[in-house]
Amino acid sequence: MTVDKIKNWRAIYVSSRTEKKIGETLNAKGIEAYVPLVKTMRQWSDRKKMVELPLLHGYVFVKTDLHENDKVMQTKGVVNFVRSEGKIAVIREIEIDRLKQLVALGYHLEAHGINKKYKEGDRVKITSGVLKGVEGYVVDAGENKQIEVLLESIGQCIRVKLPKEILVNII
């Protein structure tokens, strides 16, 4: 298999509020696309309803080789690939797997940009469960510690509330 035929995960910027539709369109084109969705309660004046919303607004993840990138860019609503140092950023498979695990476990999740100012915090590692071995930083030491799992390739953080008992400090 040549280098240009190897498929890697990449992130794409998409038009606002089109993440799910673009994910479906890309999958229909035969391009593996992943949109992390979280369930959240929304309230209107007359009712409440659980809805699925994208965890990372404006992003869709695609697993493509170099030849499929044009097919992705020709999809309505796709703005551009996320770039790092002028090149299309490649996201490690383990980062996508961890993101899928977090979403599947149904923890309370929030996304924050990497430019967020962090307070001094302990670096921690999860010691049990499906997320065993995942590292992050404590941002709230209240009743439940919240850790942020940094997805470095795309410059996003995922905040997840976890019980204190499954965390250990890393020196």
Greater pLDDT, 106 or 15: 15
Rounded to 5°, angle at Cα 152 from 151 and 154: 80
- The dihedral through the CA atoms of 141, 143, 144, 146 has a sign that is negative
pLDDT digits (tens, 9 = 90+) for 29-83: 999 999 999 888 888 899 999 889 998 899 999 999 989 999 999 999 999 999 9
Rounded to 5°, angle at Cα 76 from 71 and 82: 65
CATH 2.30.30.30 range(s) for the chain read 98-169
Domain 98-169: CATH class, spelled out: mainly beta
CATH 3.30.70.940 range(s) for the chain read 3-91
Greater pLDDT, 75 or 130: 75
Mean pLDDT of the region 149-163: 72
Determine how many CB atoms are found less than 10 A away from the CB of residue 42: 10
3-91 maps to which CATH number? 3.30.70.940
Helices first, then strands: H and E counts in the chain: 3, 14
